[in-house]
Amino acid sequence: MDILKEISVRLQQGDDERVCELTRQAVEKKVPPRAILDEGLIGGMNIIGERYKAHEIFLPQVLLAAKAMYAGTDVLRPLFVKEGMPAIGKVVIGSVQGDLHDIGKNLVGIMLKGAGFEVIDLGNDVPPERFVETAEKEDAAVIGISALLTTTMPVMKRTVDLLEEKGLRTKIRTIIGGAPISEEFAKQIGADAYGYDSTNAVESVKRLIMANESD
């Protein structure tokens, strides 16, 4: 089997040790790192994402595959020191100020990385200023905010408002999610998108980035 195909297959099986080994072998065989990343690792994760969406597999299998993907990217990272790890876009994510719950946000971050995004995770209890400053400094295209309870939802609006004040609303897009969030609430506060779950989040972020590029 072609080594890139084998990386993809082993990744889908969640075999992190074998993915790590195969990635090393591919590097030694002078397979371009970009091809290993796109066709082997991200290619495998894309198949996992599709199978998850089709309910053929469940969250644990997705997360085992994600661990295998991280094992592969760790091998590749030193090869991209100069130009940085290639990514289809940069996303800053975090849980809203006043919220300590980060499992939902973590899952979204893992799926975004799996799809080839660079993710800057600010953790939880993140004030609006930090979201905006980081996105500006890192030249991120999207800010993703998570909330567990309705009581922290107004702080999400402050992040959108802050982007507006700084004239960054069209450059940096916002997506929100979490148990109490709805599409309607996202519209109400002027966020650009709402993500129901982690797969949906990836699709929405891709759409936001495409919309930005065509602007």
β-bridge mates for residue 95, sequence order: 146
Q: Contacts with ligand B12 in 23-52 (CB under 6 A)?
A: none
What's the CA dihedral at 29, 35, 40, 43 to 10 degrees? -170
Options 4, 19, 31, 108; binder of ligand B12; rule CB under 6 A: 108
Segment (H or E) for 61: helix 59-76
Say how far residue 213 (Cα) sits from the centre of its chain. 18
Q: Is 104 in the site for ligand B12 (CB under 6 A)?
A: yes
142 binds ligand B12 (CB under 6 A): no
**Count of residues that bind other proteins according to CB under 8 A:** 29
Which of positions 55-84 make contact with other proteins (CB under 8 A)? 58-61, 63-64, 66-67, 70-71
103 binds ligand B12 (CB under 6 A): yes
Q: How far is the CB of 199 from other proteins (least distance, A)?
A: 11
| 98-157 positions binding other proteins, by CB under 8 A | 98-103, 106-107, 110, 148-152
Cβ atoms of 88 and 115 closer than 8 Å: yes
User: Do the beta carbons of residue 208 and residue 173 sit within 8 Å?
Assistant: yes
4-43: contacts with other proteins (CB under 8 A) = 14
Q: How far apart are CA 190 and CA 198, in angstroms?
A: 21
* Cβ contact 124:147 at 8 Å: no
Out of 35, 149, 210, 211, which residue is the one contacting ligand B12 (CB under 6 A)? 149
Tell me how many residues contact ligand B12 (CB under 6 A): 22
